[in-house]
Amino acid sequence: MVPTSEPGDSLAEPPVVRALRDALPGGSVLSDPDQMEGYRYDRAMTVRPGMPVAVVRAASSAEVQATLRIASQFATPVVTRGAGTGLSGGSAAVDGCITLSTERMREVRVDAAAMVATVQPGALNAEVKAEARRHGLWYPPDPSSFEICSIGGNLATNAGGLCCVRYGVTTDYVLGIEVVLADGRALRLGGKTIKDVAGYDLKRLFVGSEGTLGVITEATLRLRPLGPPLSTVAATFGDVVDCGRAVARIMAASRPSALELMDAAAIAAVERVRPMGFEPGVGALLIGQCPVDAAEGAQLAAACEGCDATYVAVTDDPDEGELLMGARRMAIPCVERLGTVLIEDIGVPIPSIPALVGAVAEVATRTDTMIPVIGHAGDGNFHPLVTFDPTDADARARAELAFDEIIEIALALGGTITGEHGVGSLKARHLSAQLGSDVVELTSTIKRALDPAGILNPGKWV
């Protein structure tokens, strides 16, 4: 338990903090700057966070409600925060805000008969998976950060991951939520029923809204039977055009359990840390997984061979498979050894993959910036890793230019500025270019209807 400030401090405190402390006893409220420091940031390294007036470590839905009632009363902004692993600055503090942490709300209850997990937002994705597994069930969505990210953050960003290509993203698993509105009212939307079209699909309006419409305090998530053992196929290509053709051919025939791409720069970054023995001149690596018993593994390998793969390996051994997929999982940490990384999260229609990867390489050359590309190829969702020396102001400027240019490329290809990480602060100024003014206006209309005083995560993207 983190100690609260001394009672003697309270006279110097702003009234909103005093009101929070009165309403939330038991160490839920922090206002000491040192204690608050770790709650200001998420993992969007280039976003400059503000300074909260208080951090509330809510222990229950009732405490979330009390916090929002007080925030409304004092017109104080509220930035909700899960585990702080976000990559877009969505939970970065704004000056004078209440940062509302859900880290203490971690209950996970599995109803095995109904095949659902009822979870509080602070539970980690891995904790939900583990509890489901204890009941012989599976919660599929698997952001790469699944061991350290919270399910509440997953809900706030509609997080994806590697297995989405076959099993869908977070919103596809949400049967019901409890959400606290800006005025402190708690609503229940949906429940344990699988198909339900009674009224608007309001729960899906809150999922992915990045804390701007309400605070999800509980979710009922659909579980699946445990996934099958997987075959893993790794294929290298002389260039990314061939690799892109293979992706399209694979997706036209099946839905693999994962289909990950690394370009030459990403392979090189991993090779430097953990040599995999790839020949020089490899243009792209594709790693696919599919159920062992199905014919899909052979089909997947054949599709790669038919698209001029230079090398194809298939294994049904789970350890070998994990070793191959591990190279992909290591890509971001390996690249982070080389500099500060601005992580893109663009998406394009599948036929545009070669054009996208080619254009990113062109930007890298032109801006003299290292930009390895990894991505969930089967979904057309890519993470160009714009890497720069943080001590070099010119390199930073070039990297920021490259970041913007890549977003523009994605939009020009009919794509999106964010496939699974959220808009946050990092991509806020690009959102209107994607949505257009009428959709931005509709977005604001919805926002005003639900949060008329604009206290929920203000100044990010709405």
Q: Which of residues 336-395 bind a second copy (CB under 8 A)?
A: 347-351, 376, 379-381
Least CB distance to a second copy at residue 344 (A): 13
Angle at 439 between CA 438 and CA 444, to 5 degrees: 100
Which residue lies nearer to a second copy by CB, 18 or 328? 328
Kindly state the smallest distance separating residue 327's Cβ from a second copy, in Å.
22
When asked if residue 451 is in the footprint of a second copy (CB under 8 A), the reply is no
Nearer to a second copy, 49 or 380 (CB): 380
Closest separation between CB of residue 121 and a second copy, Å?
17
CB contact at 8 A, 244 and 327: no
Site for a second copy, residues 34 to 73, rule: CB under 8 A: none
Burial category of 34 from C-beta neighbours within 10 Å (exposed 0-12, middle 13-18, buried 19 and up): exposed
Please give the residues from 87 up to 146 whose contact with a second copy meets the rule CB under 8 A: 112-116, 136-137
Cβ–Cβ < 8 Å for 394, 349: no
Of 7-15, 258-266, 389-397, 414-422, the window that binds a second copy (rule: CB under 8 A) is 414-422
User: Site mask, a second copy, residues 164-203, x = CB under 8 A?
Assistant: x---xx-xx--------x---x-xxx-xxxxxxxxxxxx-
Count interface residues toward a second copy (CB under 8 A). Answer: 83
Q: Which range binds a second copy by CB under 8 A, 67-75, 94-102, 390-398, 411-419?
A: 411-419
Build a one-symbol-per-residue string for 139-158: x at contacts with a second copy by CB under 8 A, - elsewhere: ------------------xx
Contact segment (CB under 8 A) with a second copy among 14-22, 32-40, 54-62, 448-456 equals: 448-456
x/- track of binding to a second copy for residues 219-238 (CB under 8 A):
-----xx-------------
The amino acid at 403 = F
Residue linked to tokens 């229940």: 188
Q: Rounded to whole angstroms, how far apart are CA atoms 419 and 346?
A: 6
Q: Are 261 and 286 in contact (CB under 8 A)?
A: yes
Residue 423 is a binding residue for a second copy (CB under 8 A): yes
Closest CB to a second copy among residues 70, 137? 137
436 near a second copy, judged by CB under 8 A: yes
Q: Rounded to whole angstroms, how far apart are CA atoms 159 and 181? A: 22
Exposure string of 359-383, with b = 16+ CB inside 10 Å and e = fewer, is bbbebbeebebbbbbbbbbbbbbbb
* C-beta separation of 125 from 153 below 8 A: no
Q: Residue 205, Cβ neighbours under 10 Å: how many?
A: 15
What is d(CA 160, CA 141) in angstroms, rounded to the nearest whole number? 6
Chain residues 251-310 in contact with a second copy, contact rule CB under 8 A = 251-255, 293-295
Q: H-type helices in 96-179, by residue range?
A: 125-134, 151-157, 164-167
